[in-house]
Amino acid sequence: MTLPKGLAGVVVDQTKISSTKNAILTYAGYRIEDLASAPFEEVVYLLWYGRLPAAEDLHTFTRTLVGHMTLPDETLRLMNEIAKEPQHPMSILRTTVSLLGTTNNVKRDDPPTILGKMLTAIAAIIRIRDGKPLLRAQPDWSVAKNFLYLFSGNTPTDDQAAMFNTVMVLHAEHEFNASTFTARVVASTQSDYYSCLTAAVCALKGPLHGGANERVFNMLETIRAQELAPAEYLKQELAAGHKVMGFGHRIYKNGDPRAKILRGIAEKLADQTGNQDYYDLQATLADFMLKNKHLHPNVDYYTALIYHCLGLDKATFTMLFAACRTAGWLAHILEQQREGCLIRPSSEYVGPTNQHYLENRRHQNDTQQDHIQFG
């Protein structure tokens, strides 16, 4: 029995939500390059319902999502205690998502309600950690503009809202990645939405998945703080066998289409916020990795700089990823629950065989007595 490690390239199920076939990312058949400037709400509608909404439906859907960008008082009271704990923000989010599933009348919570709550909860964690007051969503703004406002406290310009909208769209969905597959496994048991999302957050926290963006910025800070030569730093890391975060992708061997779009946003935001040095450093590192290792930047690489330019603490970067990816997680939870099939794969056992309990136990007892007597 020979299977690739990590199930690389193994098709485990079918989906109508998204595809990375031939290294082309599509949402419900639409290329990501075409959707990059579409309203986040329209993309969410597409992922959940498999079609683009009519203008009137989009307006109603947007108002519905924004209308749910609020949290019950009891949830906020508990969050004010949880978010102040000296834990990693993703650990705080893990507990918060579980909390969302136990406060208020959660049996009536549908995907629009849950997405609105998730976005608001993540913004609230950021604000509470920074000791800043919580804000209210503006009913006439888009979801992306509201979310940016809720965690930053600044009224976004139309240009800033448009760029952040693109960031949210690019992170909304990505086929059977680790966190999405985790959510689908839980959904296959017919468990509730919040249990599925809690499991997805746990998977996203890992540095080989969503946590990679934080480690990308750690690298940039280290190089700048120690005034290292970028090429020498990379040579040392590679020689030591360390993985350089933000480069390479299991699917996109010739470049992540999301990274190509995000690079322009990172460059523009870096210029606007006085972070040009960081962008220039990223460009230098990317050139070295392509020339010497034939590796392209992935989605995490430029996202790290974008989130920094938005004023975020690097420890909260992965929570922003979770905020966007909740749209895709919910799409997959819905699809898996409709499928009604329990995910329960088999494994190939490669351990010892023909073991005999009583015989081995007697042997261990005899050995122990000998050790006591003669040891």
In this structure, what are the phi and psi dihedrals at residue 211, rounded to the nearest 5 degrees?
Answer: -70, -5
Record the tokens describing residue 270, joined without a space.
């870096």
Selecting among 68, 171, 174, 249, the annotated active-site residue is 249
Walk across the sheet containing 18-19 and list its strands. 18-19, 26-27, 30-31
**8 Å CB contact between 69 and 116:** yes
Q: What's the CA gap between 101 and 107, in Å, rounded?
A: 9
**8 Å CB contact between 129 and 89:** yes
Which runs of E-coded beta strand occur in the chain?
A: 18-19, 26-27, 30-31
The residue whose two tokens read 């699917």 is 251
Is 249 in the active site?
yes
| Exposure string over 2-32, b if 16+ CB within 10 A, otherwise e | eeeeeeeeeeeeebebbebeeeebbbbeeeb
Selecting among 68, 171, 300, 308, the annotated active-site residue is 300
Enzyme catalytic residues: 249, 300
